[in-house]
Amino acid sequence: MNHQAWSYENALKFAREKLSHASTDQAAHHEAKLEAELLLCHVLHCQRATLYTWPERELTPQQAEQFFEFVERRQNGEPLAYITEQREFWGLNLKVSPATLIPRADTETLVEAALEKIHDLPCAKVLDLGSGSGAIILAITSERADGEFHAVDLSAAALAIAQHNAQHLGLNVHFFQGSWFEPVHANQYDLIVSNPPYIEDLDPHLQQGDLRFEPPTALSSGRDGLDDLRLIIHQAWLHLHHQAWLVVEHGYNQAEAVAALFKQQGYQAIELRRDLSGQARVTMGQKP
């Protein structure tokens, strides 16, 4: 395959056919077209418009080999974000890797809620637990340059990605390695945010789609998926100033259970936020 000359146009056509899996569904064809374009742009370091401005241009043998390798990986189900090692979140271009979760648009609901809670608070001190690629804390920091921002993750590999993202974006965040509150045990905050693991250990979705490729420790949390949320809701109490907020993401079917945990711990003004598709996504509460 790679011994022949491949124009941008022919390479895209070949990739589209491979990625659409011979589907007759229009949405699948559209998605395959977009993914082929994004993969080729990643190889060529160009904008998508370039592919159609010069469709007759040819790939070098090395470019063709890399492109078709990427197409095969995507065909085998590997997430596009892991192949290109990047994902956009909150308008920020982030580096990601198999050591981190892939930031999802639903999590922007958490960022919006967090920013609301510190809107009128100058120099807010903010903590992000289980930071992964740094998506949440970097999004908040990008909007609030006057605060003090901390992030914790157990994974050294994930923290390396997050630190790279912070440096690349020119955002000042202090990163700590360890389990939840351990590395910041002496600190108190005006806002604590977290998108912790919240999928049930035996949930069949863990064996489907992109989740097959993402780090299991960042996804599942006990038989009911609430083990880490219980710990965070309980321990955050000791690390929040009075009138400070805890804001957490959870599964669409966990809102009632999470609200009960907040109430049990003594939080007030408990609120639920829904994501763009209307699913229950974020619960928050204030320490009185």
pLDDT in tens, 38-83: 999 999 999 999 999 999 999 999 999 999 999 999 999 999 999 9
Q: Which CATH class is domain 99-286?
A: alpha beta
Amino acid 223: pLDDT: 73
Question: pLDDT tens-digit profile of 104-124?
Answer: 999 999 999 999 999 999 999
**For residue 206, pLDDT beyond 60:** no
Cβ within 8 Å of residue 139, ≥6 positions away: 89, 90, 92, 108, 111
**CATH architecture, range 8-76:** Orthogonal Bundle (1.10)
Alpha helices in the chain (DSSP H): 8-19, 26-44, 48-53, 61-75, 80-84, 108-117, 135-143, 156-169, 227-236, 255-265
Contact 281, 274 (CB under 8 A): yes
Contacts of 195 (CB under 8 A, 6+ apart): 101, 107, 110, 130, 132, 136, 248, 249
Percent of the chain with pLDDT over 70: 92
Instruction: Write down the pLDDT at residue 79.
Output: 95
Residues of the chain with CATH 3.40.50.150: 99-286
Does the pLDDT value for residue 34 go beyond 80?
A: yes
Question: Which whole number is the average pLDDT over 231-237?
Answer: 97
Q: Using DSSP bridges, classify how beta strands 268-274 and 240-249 pair: parallel, antiparallel or unpaired.
A: unpaired
Contact assessment for residue 249 and residue 110, using Cβ atoms and an 8 Å cutoff: yes
Mean pLDDT of 193-220: 72
Encode pLDDT of 135-184 as tens digits.
999 999 999 979 999 999 999 999 999 999 999 999 999 999 999 999 99
Residue 207 has pLDDT above 70, yes or no: yes
Length of the chain: 288
Range 180-200 average pLDDT: 92
In eight-state DSSP terms, residue 213 is G
pLDDT the model gives residue 2: 47
Answer yes or no: is pLDDT of 31 > 70: yes
Rounded Cα gap, residues 37 and 108, in angstroms: 26
Q: 89 has which bridge partners? A: 92
Q: Which helix (H) or strand (E) holds 273?
A: strand 268-274
Bridge partners, residue 111, by sequence: none
Within the chain, all domains assigned CATH 1.10.8 are found at: 8-76
pTM of the model: 0.90
Q: Nearest 5°: phi and psi at 154?
A: -75, -30
Give me the residues paired with residue 284 across strands.
247, 271
Mean pLDDT rounded to a whole number for the chain: 92
The predicted pLDDT at position 214 comes to 65
Confidence category of residue 28, pLDDT binned at 50, 70, 90: confident
Between 31 and 197, where is the model more confident? 31
Q: Judging by DSSP bridges, how do beta strands 125-129 and 148-153 pair with one another?
A: parallel
> Percentage of the chain with pLDDT > 90?
85
Q: How far apart are the C-alpha atoms of 233 and 261, rounded to whole Å? A: 7
Residue 152, classed as helix, strand or coil, is: strand
